[in-house]
Amino acid sequence: MKTRPFNQVDVFTDQPYFGNPLAVVLDGSGLDDETMQRFARWTHLSETTFVLPPADPAADYRVRIFTPGGELPFAGHPTLGSCHAWLQAGGTPKRQDFIVQECQVGLVKIRRDPSTLRHAQDRPSSGQDGGLLAFAAPPLQRSAPSPAVLAQVAAALGLKAQHILAAQLLDNGPVWLGLLLDSADTVLQLQPDHAALKKHGLKVGVAGAHPAQTAPVLIARTNREARAFSGSAPTSPAETATADFEVRAFAAPIGIEEDPVTGSLNASLAQWLIAEGHAPERYVAAQGTCLGRAGRVCLTRETDAQGSVQVWVGGQSVTCINGTVTL
């Protein structure tokens, strides 16, 4: 065992303890799979990452991503949180325009993205990375779920057919069953049967639009949200920022009943919803409301001069714990 630099980062928030926490071991060299997995179970966070030297010369660093139940090929909030921690630890990108992360899904571009600051009250990140970070969403494969699977999941969520506007199986590394529901209120009122979802073996992401121009603040939107906050008003500026969609992520098959804020899910939802005309090319998703969090994810689809389309997934991060760990 040796002492290794360690951070705990809150992702998709500009205020500590209102986003999705991530444990980052900044030197994972020499650790075997079993040790990484054991430490990820011990942290008991949705994800723990280990930063390593890149195997691909085009990458700035390599990261391995573990949940308490296993390793992931890619995940969004670990991507932004690991990059934030790497930059704060003195990491220097090989290129000025992008940071390049290597993970099991391949190379993922990350950019410092000042243009998305307007989505979060025009405030820079409280970290030292120069503002929001945004990752390029990996290629998405999607298909229609079978009617039988859709019916089983709808029953586990307590949904009736009229609540579901559209559904797709979404695969950008992690696989989600994505559901577009009739409203943000329907999303917020869900009380899933997590045991049933675990039995079906599917991670489920749901999204619903807030009414145009009247997207509410986090507090007092519903009695359920008020109970989540136990009557106390959060102080994060992001919590008063409006959101276009409300998102929730249920991942019982990997040991997480509900994830506070999920970058990979929001990436695949955006790729699907924008392509099908269900969402504009720039929007903000709120996630974590029912857990007392105030996650904000900034989604943007851009088309370059050659006609190539890329969705960018942005958010702020803040370091909450900075120290060492013995592994």
Give the model confidence (pLDDT) of 10-45 as tens digits.
Answer: 999 999 999 999 999 999 999 999 999 999 999 999
Tens-digit pLDDT profile for residues 122-164: 333 334 444 699 999 999 999 999 999 999 999 999 999 999 9
The highest-confidence range among 95-109, 121-135, 235-249, by mean pLDDT, is 95-109
Q: Which domains does the chain have, with CATH numbers?
A: 3-136+316-326 (3.10.310.10), 141-303 (3.10.310.10)
* % of the chain residues with pLDDT over 70: 85
Please say if the pLDDT value at position 294 is more than 60: yes
Chain center to CA of 123: 20
**DSSP code, position 57:** T
What confidence tens digit (pLDDT) does each residue in 167-177 have?
999 999 889 99
How much is the pLDDT for 130? Answer: 47
Q: Using 50, 70 and 90 to split pLDDT, how confident is the model at 254?
A: confident
Structure tokens at 299: 């989604």
Report H helices in 54-193: 76-88, 147-157, 184-189
pLDDT for the residue 221: 37
Lowest mean pLDDT among 210-214, 269-273, 280-284: 210-214
Q: CB neighbours (10 Å) of residue 232?
A: 9
Question: Whole-number mean pLDDT of the chain?
Answer: 87
The 3-state DSSP class for residue 260 equals coil
Instruction: Kindly tell me the number of DSSP H helices and DSSP E strands found in the chain.
Output: 7, 18
Rounded Cα distance between 289 and 277, Å, is 25
- Residue % of the chain over a pLDDT of 90: 77
Q: State the pLDDT at residue 255.
A: 81
Q: How confident is the model at residue 48 (pLDDT cuts 50, 70, 90)?
A: very high
Q: Annotated catalytic sites, by residue?
A: 47
Which pLDDT value is given to residue 123?
A: 38
d(CA 49, CA 37): 10
How many Å apart are CA 225 and CA 326, to the nearest integer?
A: 39
Residue type, 237: P
Check residue 173 and give its pLDDT.
Answer: 85
Check residue 219 and give its pLDDT.
34
What confidence tier does 114 reach under pLDDT thresholds 50, 70, 90? low
In the structure, what pLDDT confidence band is assigned to residue 113 with cuts at 50, 70 and 90? low
Q: What pLDDT does 322 receive?
A: 97
Is residue 324 predicted with pLDDT exceeding 50?
yes
More confident residue, 127 or 104: 104
